[in-house]
Amino acid sequence: MHPQCMLGFIRCVAAVRSCHCRDPTAILVCLEHHSLFPKAQICIAKNLPDLESCKEKAAYVRAVMAAIVLFAGGVCDIQELVGCLQRPTSPMSLMDISEMLYCTATLLYAMRENGVQISNRTDLQPTSEQQQILNHALTPGERVKIVAFAGTGKTSTLIQYARKWSHLHFLYLAFNKTIAKQASQLFPDNVKCKTIHSLAYTEVGKHYRRKLNLGSLTSYLVSFALSNRQGQSPFIRGKSVVQTLAAFFASADVSIAVDHTPIWCKNHRGEKVLVEQREKQIIVEEAKEIWSKMQTLSPTGEMAHRMTHDGYLKLWQLQKPSLSEYDVILVDEAQDCTPAVMDIVLSQPCGVILVGDPHQQIYTFRGAVNTLSEVPHSRIFYLTQSFRFGSEIAYVGATILDVSKGVRKKTLVGNKQESDVSGVGVEGTVAHLSRTNKTVFEDAVKLTCGDTPAKIHLLGGLKAFGLEKIHDLWKLLHPELRLEIKDPFIKKWAEKGLASIKDYADKAEDKQLEIKIAIVETYWDRIPELVERITRCHVLAPKKAGRNHVPVRLMEVHFAFGLWGLAGLEALLFRASAGLLRRRRKKGVQARLPSRALLLVKRIERTVFIVTV
């Protein structure tokens, strides 16, 4: 089908008024369960933004159903669509579904009878920036960078590139398992979608499956594995060793050295001091001992000696792996790659395309370097035309990048769809993004109070958020109650109390634990009641919540990255008054934005985002 015919078909179906969409919100929730829903959503957002933002939501729902029908690869996809529309929460009857499909089939039949070729391909008209990328013939050993601003269609560009150069075999490296799974549904058959850790596990990690540490290496675990010696607290030593190992795992280096040790540490009085050279040498030796025992294949009860995910990735990198079966490697979110990952990728003889946005780097704390700035390249392309939001949001984002980072050569450009940066008349799902989990907890408390508490959903669930751990920490304040402490780590502090575990968190610089302790110290004896209330108001699966109970979604911004195209918000997380920015610019000083702001952005993928800093 010609791209314009495909879009015309979707518009035509969207314009058909019927009684089928009595509750479009509920129908949309059901459609989200279809495997082709993300693809249909991207197609409409990119090419028909007026439908996505139209006031009549029923038209958007009909457009989504039409797009799913067009993308269907066979009867199974249509059966899946019928199954989604027959879910218990769907207001559509079987008669409604049959009539909708009959009308759609009639229109498709009429198009075929009039000589319109029907296809489910998504190769719609690319922008001039995208076309330059598509026309570039990558040669073996070539390193190409694509700097893609927020919502500029980098994924669709890569899909079209792989489709155009279909004789080549591609490896698409995604940042996490969820993105890799979604990508595998969108990319053509000549592309393998993987995470770097899945590749490393297949070659190395599987040998350690009986002694894997599924969590992370902590200061507490390491402190008990270190031999006794005079000097620093074991927790401070444990923290230094953990930091050293983390730096080594992230680096491209072959052995642990002084350069991997931390520059600063806390002394026994909690003061931040420089680490002496003699102490650094000791830290290196202790880290080497832990690393050596991690590499042994025999099972162990010592948690500090179990292999971590970053550990087996490091081992794989040191083995100089070959990915010779691929002609091209596509690295998504390249700005957040570690030197170890880049060493694996750049040592391959095939062509490499690095894609990302240096202004959206959020994982420096995990050893990531800004690959898009540091790695040499033979060619660089830019994607600046955003399909995600209109000119109003694009202007705010471009202004903040200009003021705070001096980005002037390339400007983020919005599309024609309506968008604003205000809090007037907003509708749809609400998502609260916070810098820390303490603010997430505070938002949950506010939203669940009163006679009509809101339904909420904590991203990842209550366990991942650590709500039970917060309750366990409160129990340390009341040993006389002899309450059961469920978390094994917190249970070890039952006799010493909250003050001792707080001292450990401070010395070990365990930020997540410090945040949970701060929550307990803020709310004290209200903790049990608040934990019970948040648990009661929490919805496990937002998609299954039902049309009358759409939850407010609460999350820390790092974990929300990419879920709703949040790249569009990364530049908007901080907002300063125009007067402050002007004054600082006149003085020639880089603008520093306030430490706390509230920003409400309307209509990005039908979700309202409230960002608190």
pLDDT at 364: 58
Confidence of residue 583 (pLDDT cuts 50, 70, 90): very low
Percent of the chain at pLDDT above 70?
80
Give the pLDDT band of residue 230 (cuts 50, 70, 90).
low
Per residue in 237-256, pLDDT tens? 999 999 999 999 999 999 99
Write the secondary structure of 145-159 as one string of H (helix), E (strand) and C (coil).
EEEECCCCCHHHHHH
Q: How far is CA 129 from CA 48, 81, 457, in A?
A: 19, 35, 39
pLDDT surpasses 80 at 38: yes
Contact by Cβ (8 Å): 610, 426: no
Lowest-confidence region among 193-197, 232-236, 444-448, 501-505: 232-236
Point out which residues pair with 600 in neighbouring strands: 610
Q: Which are the contacts of 562, defined by CB distance < 8 A and separation ≥ 6?
A: 175, 179, 333
Mapping DSSP to helix (H, G, I), strand (E, B) and coil, where does residue 174 land? Answer: strand
Specify the pLDDT at position 424.
55
Going by pLDDT thresholds of 50, 70 and 90, the confidence category of residue 331 is: very high
Residues of the chain above pLDDT 90, percent: 44
Confidence band (pLDDT; 50, 70, 90) for 397?
A: confident
Counted residue by residue, the chain has a size of 613
Identify which has the larger pLDDT, 60 or 581. Answer: 60
Judged against a pLDDT cut of 70, whether residue 368 lies above it is answered with no
Question: Tell me, what's the pLDDT at 387?
Answer: 77
Reported pTM: 0.66
Task: Summarize the confidence of residues 404-427 as an average pLDDT.
Answer: 66
Computed over every residue of the chain, the mean pLDDT equals: 82
- Residues 291, 245 contacting (CB under 8 angstroms): yes
Residue of higher predicted confidence among 425 and 351:
351
Say which amino acid occupies 378: S
104 confidence band (pLDDT: 50, 70, 90) = confident
Task: Give the model's pLDDT for residue 194.
Answer: 97
In which band, very low, low, confident or very high, does the pLDDT at 499 lie, cut at 50, 70 and 90? very high
The two three-digit tokens of residue 179, written as one number: 């993105």
Going by pLDDT thresholds of 50, 70 and 90, the confidence category of residue 428 is: low
Among 9, 33, 10, 29, CA closest to 21: 29
Token code pair at residue 592: 């520093």
Tokens representing residue 484 in the block: 């059961």
Check pLDDT > 70 for residue 19. no
Phi and psi angles of residue 232, each rounded to the nearest 5 degrees, phi first? -70, 160
The count of other CB atoms within 10 Å of the CB of residue 152 is 26
Kindly report each contact of residues 257-266 with a partner whose C-beta sits within 8 Å and lies 24 or more positions away, as own/partner: 257/284, 258/284, 260/284, 260/287, 261/287, 265/232, 265/236, 265/239, 265/240, 266/236, 266/506, 266/507, 266/509
Which residues lie closer than 8 Å to 588 by C-beta, 6 or more apart?
A: none
Q: What is the 3-state secondary structure (H, E, C) of 561-589?
A: CCCCCCHHHHCCCCCCCHHHHHHHHHCCC
The pLDDT of residue 414 is 74
Higher pLDDT, 271 or 165: 165
Residue 580: per-residue pLDDT: 38
Residue 53 has pLDDT above 80, yes or no: no
- The pLDDT value given to residue 25: 86
Mean pLDDT is highest, among 105-119, 451-465, 578-592, for: 451-465
- Mapping DSSP onto H, E and C, the string for 431-497 reads EEEECCHHHHHHHHHHHCCCCCCCCEEECCCHHHHCHHHHHHHHHCCCHHHCCCCCCHHHHCCCCCC
Give the max Cα distance, the chain.
87
Nearest-angstrom CA–CA distance, 246 and 364: 12
Supply the pLDDT for residue 563: 55
Residue 6 has pLDDT above 90, yes or no: no
Q: What CA–CA distance (Å, rounded) separates 381 from 169?
A: 22
Per-residue pLDDT at 594: 36
Q: What is the pLDDT of residue 363?
A: 58
For the cut 70, the answer to whether the pLDDT of residue 571 exceeds it is no
3-state secondary structure 37-72: HHHHHHHHHHHCHHHHCCCCHHHHHHHHHHHHHHHC
Cross-strand partners of 146:
355, 381
Lowest mean pLDDT among 36-40, 84-88, 199-203, 391-395: 391-395
Supply 569's token pair.
Answer: 């918000």
pLDDT at position 427, please? 58
- For residue 437, is pLDDT > 80? yes
Question: Are the beta carbons of 92 and 61 closer than 8 angstroms?
Answer: no
As a whole number, mean pLDDT of residues 109-113 equals 76
Nearest to 355 by CA among 164, 180, 153: 153
pLDDT mean over 206-229: 88
- What pLDDT does 570 receive? 36
Q: Provide the Cα torsion 429, 435, 437, 442; round to 10°.
A: -70
For 195-300, where are the alpha helices, taking DSSP H only? 196-203, 219-225, 234-250, 277-295
pLDDT in tens, 146-198: 999 878 889 889 999 999 999 999 999 998 888 898 899 889 999 999 999 99
